[in-house]
Structure 1
Amino acid sequence: MAEFGEHPPIPDSIENLLSDDTVSTVFLKAECPTRVKSGHISSLTLNQLDDPLWDKPTLENLCNELSMVIEQNSKRSDCFIEIERIGCKIMQIGDLRITCAWPPFSDAWEITIVRPVAHLQISDYNLNPELMDRLKDHHR
């Protein structure tokens, strides 16, 4: 599993939005201002950036570029397309979880980039010991 900030090279337009280590989520939507969620997990804020608006062709090209990153890094276990359906694509690129959505799934082209904000172990969930035993015995 990729560590925080560990991913193959991605388009500069996204990397620049993630340059602040406190940014956990980037929201890009056609003809809407860019928004970023940032801050400590206990005090997250959603901020609108003064960047130029993204348009449909740019977002569509960006989604295609991200798919190419996955193809170029297919040997990495943390670079893959998890879901690809009419109107949406969900990708994992290193530590980044990226969703692309477009009509009819969404009302406009949009891309959401999320990176981890908490690093938990399964023991942090205080699961029932019986369930933990079943999970440990995964060869059943």
Structure 2
Amino acid sequence: MQAYTSIFRNAYDLGIISNTLILGIVVALLGTVVAFIFAYATTYLAIPHKRIFKIFSILPMVSPPFVISPAFILLFGRSGLITYKLLGIRPDIYGFWGLAFTQVLSFFPTGYLMLTAMLQNIDPSIEEAACISGTGMKKVFSHT
């Protein structure tokens, strides 16, 4: 018990705990936003090649978890294929936002699958009735 109480008395350990909580909150919020955008686009919008979007959005779930970080470094690192070779920039991704971006890419497929199932099960007749009665799409979507 004394070991646990010493953790909450040490400033270094408290910094680690607070950084972890902040990272978790940021990843949860950004992952939900990305998942919603993908789910909305693949469910409601008439975009060409929807199947490709669906495959790419589920791809991080089927790949081993240890592959995502090296792939992110090879694509977006200081000598990355996208950042350095295509865009000519050398960003520093080895920090908070690089880790957050990697985790968002790793975890958004779970939210995408749940939000897609939810959006597909919304009854279209309710949406149509609300639109006919003069309600804007923003309000219809936020209350369904």
When Rg is computed on C-alpha atoms for both structures, the one with the higher figure is 2
Q: Which structure ranks higher in relative contact order (CA pairs < 8 Å, sequence separation ≥ 6)?
A: 2
When normalised by structure 2's length, the TM-score is: 0.25
Q: Choose between structure 1 and 2: higher strand proportion.
A: 1
* More helix by percentage: 2
> What TM-score comes out, normalization by structure 1 length?
0.26
